[in-house]
Amino acid sequence: MTQRQSRQRQSEADALGPWFHNLHLPDGTQTAPDHPLGDFPRVKWQHLVAVIPADLRGWRALDIGCNAGFYTFELAKRGAQVVAIDVDQHYLDQAQWAARQYNLEQQIEFRRWQIYDLARTDEQFDLILFMGVFYHLRYPLLGLDLVAQRLRRMLVFQSLMIKGHAPYTATDGLGIQDDREVMNDPGWPKLAFIEHTFANDPTNWWVPNTAGAEALLRSAGLRVEQNLGYEMLICAPDPDNRSCVTTWNRAELLAATGRPWQV
Ligand SMILES: C[S@@+](CC[C@H](N)C(=O)[O-])C[C@H]1O[C@@H](n2cnc3c(N)ncnc32)[C@H](O)[C@@H]1O
């Protein structure tokens, strides 16, 4: 590539800014080299690299909140067919432009979707990335239930989390007259609600502690297989612990997603 072409690439990237993902394009152009979180999200990807199968040929993947597509491109480079969704057209424009730079357009389908739009499809995905989105949801368990219902093999869940404190495990079987003080235990599964802003962002609604995140995932019918640290959990469908939304509580999910529920 000539210097002139490289300058052209850089000015196209600048025109699509601001960028949240620092992509390293094939010609060496970086989209957010001065990112406040470092070489983001490559710094996070380093902890995932060995956990995601190196060969994803034949896998169908879903990247929720794909942003500029960093993770989408990593999965596509490994051979996956990826559906990449995001609510924000600004980020989808970046991702679609970058897909052309990587020559990966054939493997990726971008959709301007809310996570809740998953209620309108029966598609199943071998691998789902649910990273950096959970805490942005006003209806987090609805989002998680929809995700879990679309999963075939492996989920990467990443959220802002409240750190510390061993999980409080004896959460079952309290009676209505029992003292609820135990729920103040720091390890009790929790979601902290953000009424106004967190990190200057009014779209940050809920921050789980680790026990809370793991309990929610289990409640959605998933097995937490690995806590990678760095707020990342690796999960798989748990056939021995099916979600209540597939059994006695199916009507609530159907009603919440505008589908007929009365038998
Ligand atoms: C913090 S960024 C995380 C981006 C990427 N997944 C990552 O981990 O680096 C959150 C992304 O989720 C998108 N998003 C927020 N709410 C969403 C929703 N309800 N459905 C789909 N995408 C959403 C935002 O537009 C943004 O691109």
pLDDT score, position 157: 98
The verdict on residue 30 lying in a domain is no
Specify the number of domains making up the chain. Answer: 1
pLDDT score, position 195: 97
pLDDT score, position 29: 93
The verdict on residue 36 lying in a domain is no
* Per-position pLDDT tens, the chain of length 263: 788 888 899 999 999 999 999 999 999 999 999 999 999 999 999 999 999 999 999 999 999 999 999 999 999 999 999 999 999 999 999 999 999 999 999 999 999 999 999 999 999 999 999 999 999 999 999 999 999 999 999 999 999 999 888 888 789 999 998 889 999 999 999 999 999 999 999 999 999 999 999 999 999 999 999 999 999 999 999 999 999 999 999 999 999 999 999 97
The verdict on residue 31 lying in a domain is no
Angle between helix 70-77 and helix 89-102 axes, rounded to 10 deg: 30
HSE-up (13 A, CA, CB side) for residue 156: 26
- Atom of ligand 1 at shortest range from CA of 88: 25
The verdict on residue 37 lying in a domain is no
CA of 50 to the centre of ligand 1 (A): 23
- Atom of ligand 1 at shortest range from CA of 70: 9
- Domain with 185, as residue range(s), is 44-256
Residue 45 exposed, middle or buried by CB count within 10 Å (0-12, 13-18, 19+): middle
The verdict on residue 224 lying in a domain is yes
- Tell me, what CATH number does 77's domain have? 3.40.50.150
Q: Residue 198: helix, strand or coil by DSSP? A: strand
Distance CA 227, CA 233 (A): 5
The verdict on residue 183 lying in a domain is yes
- Atom of ligand 1 at shortest range from CA of 63: 6
With contact defined as beta carbons under 8 Å apart, do 21 and 67 qualify? yes
Residue 68 phi/psi, 5-degree rounding, is -80, 0
Residue 253 phi/psi, 5-degree rounding, is -65, -40
pLDDT score, position 165: 82
CB of 140 within 6 A of ligand 1: the answer is no
CB of 93 within 6 A of ligand 1: the answer is no
Contacts of residue 69, Cβ cutoff 8 Å, sequence gap at least 6: 21, 23, 63, 84, 94, 95, 98, 99, 108
With contact defined as beta carbons under 8 Å apart, do 221 and 148 qualify? yes
CB of 68 within 6 A of ligand 1: the answer is no
The verdict on residue 159 lying in a domain is yes
With contact defined as beta carbons under 8 Å apart, do 101 and 130 qualify? no
Residue 44 phi/psi, 5-degree rounding, is -80, -40
pLDDT score, position 167: 84
CB of 44 within 6 A of ligand 1: the answer is no
H or E element: which one contains 52? Answer: none
**Beta pairing partners, 209:** 162
The verdict on residue 11 lying in a domain is no
Cβ-based neighbour number of residue 197 at 10 Å: 10
pLDDT score, position 74: 98
**Beta pairing partners, 63:** 84, 129
